[in-house]
Amino acid sequence: MGVVYLAHGPQGHAVALKVLRPHVVGDEEGRGRLAREVSSLRRVRSPRVAKVYDADPWGDPPFVVTEYVHGRSLHELVRSEGALGRERLQAVAVGLAEAIAAVHRVGVLHRDVKPSNVLVAEDGPVLIDFGLAKQADDPALTATGWLLGTPGYVAPETLYGDEATPAVDVHGWAATVAFAASGSSPFGEGAAMAILDRARRGEYDLSGVPADLLPVVKECLSPVPLDRPTAAELVSSLTGLSASAPAATADGAAAGQASPQPASGTRPLTEPVGATPPEEEEPEHAREPLPPTPSDSRRLSTAPMRALVRSAWFALLAIGLGLVPYVALALLLVLTWLMRTADRSTASLINRRAIRGVRRGDRLLNVLASPWHLLATVPGTLLLVLSTAVAGAVAMGAWWILGLPDTQRMLGGGIVAAAVWCWGPGSRRARRAAGRVVWRVAKPGASGWSWSGVPAGMVILVILVGGGSVIWWPGPSVPVDLDDLLPISIRL
């Protein structure tokens, strides 16, 4: 991309001066995009992100001036000292996730999260080179034959020429954390094409990742972008804090400070380093400390609670389809429709912001488009619910042949039907929407236990109301009595 120099501003403090190659920045449109991104990045207030002081995308050559961070890159640190210890690894994982979330909050993507772009200072990791990795006109290449990104850390969807979304940075976070834990890329070594193919197929080696981080890293390395959590959800999972609580203030107004304004008569983003207001200068020792290491009472990963919540709701679905089939199918039809619509709407919002950036009317546009999303998800909803009902009926018939009692064969069919709804044809959108809900509610403490207890209580209620037998309401009885249909028993 260019050359980075250690430089000094008018006040004598050290800065990093990055001189960009013109073909990386692109034409006027590319330079304008760089200007918008740098303008957004100037509003980031996070100790985990290197500050942007100055930039001139139209300069000859174009340049960007950022904070100089005293520390080695994560790549250099691991290569020289080996994989990070448990506490240090967890501190890097949390700090890097907070950096990505802070950058996403102002509508900018990093697009090249990797160990060499993470500097490890005395007080924790700092993300550098953000928002500058994708400025050429071509969405997939910086020059003819050059792949955007580093094999082993580039997200697989970029291999198909898809527009970058925030999920790209989440994938890079997981690959970087896996490198820090083991000393090597999770997708192995060798030819670049072989590494990229492993990423595309989701084949990785996470043998060095600690057990408490493993579920989160696996989810973030999913080849499907929408299966990955957002950066905010990732921070919430890692720290045990609410996803709505900001890890760092995204703009000057939120911090109680005014965002810096360009001097009158000058091009935006080109004021000198010394023009930065004194109150915005943050000395090295003023960096906020990293979140407490695992010695703190907060749990690093909510994976066990998420598994408990998922299991409880799966049990409710299976028992409901088995013991209250008509009511359960009707509710499942409505919920599936709503969940698939929500997932489609979320995907539309992510894609729109990836192409046009964050705009004030994004959510309003999503609301206005909701009738179309509701209509577009009808075929997939009907396919999924119909497949669920048919699979359950076939399983119940199989249990009848084996001679099982009515209640047992209905419960067996309910389990099969629930499994088809979770993993059958057309289930991906509904599963993703349900997964997002689980990510938000399955936190250690009362919230997680409540969301596990609700389905458990409903299961007990169904059993008590029906006395352990099947409730066919609002129908009068079983729609098809197999004993009457086949007078001659063919059961084993």
pLDDT at 353 over 70: no
71-248 is classed CATH 1.10.510.10: yes
Q: Which residue has the higher pLDDT, 38 or 24?
A: 38
To the question of pTM greater than 0.75 for the whole model, the response is no
Most confident by average pLDDT, 31-35, 136-140, 169-173, 262-266: 169-173
- In the chain, what is the straight-line distance between the N-terminal and C-terminal CA atoms, in Å? 72
Q: Is the preceding peptide bond at 278 cis, omega within 30 degrees of 0?
A: no
Residue 480: per-residue pLDDT: 63
What pLDDT digit, counting tens, does each position of 229-260 carry?
999 889 988 875 333 333 333 333 333 333 33
**Residue 368 CB burial class (10 angstroms; 0-12, 13-18, ≥19):** exposed
Residue 24: per-residue pLDDT: 64
pLDDT band for position 351 (50/70/90)?
A: low
What pLDDT digit, counting tens, does each position of 103-160 carry?
888 877 888 899 999 999 888 899 987 644 443 333 333 333 344 567 888 888 877 6
d(CA 430, CA 383): 12
pLDDT band for position 48 (50/70/90)?
A: very high
Residue 244: per-residue pLDDT: 33
pLDDT band for position 317 (50/70/90)?
A: very high
Rounded alpha-carbon distances, angstroms, from residue 42 to 354, 448, 463: 19, 37, 59
Rounded alpha-carbon distances, angstroms, from residue 179 to 75, 175, 236, 437, 469: 8, 6, 22, 29, 54
Q: With beta carbons less than 8 A apart as the criterion, state whether 56 and 20 touch.
A: no
pLDDT band for position 443 (50/70/90)?
A: low
What number is the average pLDDT over the span 2-14? 85
Query: Strand pairing partners for 64?
Result: 18, 55
Q: Which of 54, 112, 123, 169 is catalytic?
A: 112
Bridge pairing between strands 63-67 and 52-56 = antiparallel
pLDDT at 59 over 60: yes
Residue with tokens 């001189």: 19
Q: Which residue has the higher pLDDT, 278 or 324?
A: 324
Residue 292: per-residue pLDDT: 34
What number is the average pLDDT over the span 61-81? 89
Q: Which of 86-100, 239-253, 332-346, 452-466 has the lowest mean pLDDT?
A: 239-253
The DSSP letter of residue 260 is P
What number is the average pLDDT over the span 289-297? 32
Average pLDDT, the chain: 76
Bridge pairing between strands 72-73 and 52-56 = unpaired
Residue 193: per-residue pLDDT: 81
Buried b (16+ CB within 10 A) or exposed e, 277-289: eeebeeeeeebee
Residue 26: per-residue pLDDT: 66
Q: Does the active-site annotation cover 60? A: no
Query: Of all helices (H) and strands (E), which one includes residue 56?
Result: strand 52-56
pLDDT band for position 309 (50/70/90)?
A: confident
What pLDDT digit, counting tens, does each position of 359-369 carry?
677 778 888 88
Domain(s) of CATH 1.10.510.10: residues in the chain: 71-248
